């Protein structure tokens, strides 16, 4: 039998009372509402340039950008 690795994400608050990103915002002292507003604005700007952007996963790119800028440094 092959080794199996599973990853579980909670996307709709069925297993925890908040969205799965809430602990990240809390830990790094981010304003979640501001983060999502800026994320939507950036997605809209990219779409206005004719790019096809998935709004549901674009925030992951922002997390990576913050990490590179050390905004998400422990």
**19-53 pLDDT per residue, tens:** 888 888 888 888 989 999 999 999 999 999 999 99
pLDDT band at 71 (very low <50, low <70, confident <90, very high): low
Q: Could you tell me the two tokens for 65?
A: 């950008």
pLDDT band at 10 (very low <50, low <70, confident <90, very high): low
- Residue 65: domain span: 1-74
Asked if 69 and 63 count as a contact pair (C-beta separation under 8 A), the reply is no
The confidence score (pLDDT) of residue 1 equals 64
Structural domains in the chain (count)? 1
Does this model's pTM top 0.85? My answer is no
């Amino acid at each position: 039998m092959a080794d199996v690795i599973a990853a579980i994400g909670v996307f709709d608050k069925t297993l925890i009372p908040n969205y799965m990103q809430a602990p990240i915002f809390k830990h790094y002292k981010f304003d979640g509402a501001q983060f999502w507003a800026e994320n939507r604005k950036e997605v809209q700007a990219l779409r206005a340039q004719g790019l096809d952007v998935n709004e549901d996963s674009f925030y992951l790119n922002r997390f990576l950008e913050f990490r590179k800028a050390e905004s998400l440094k422990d």
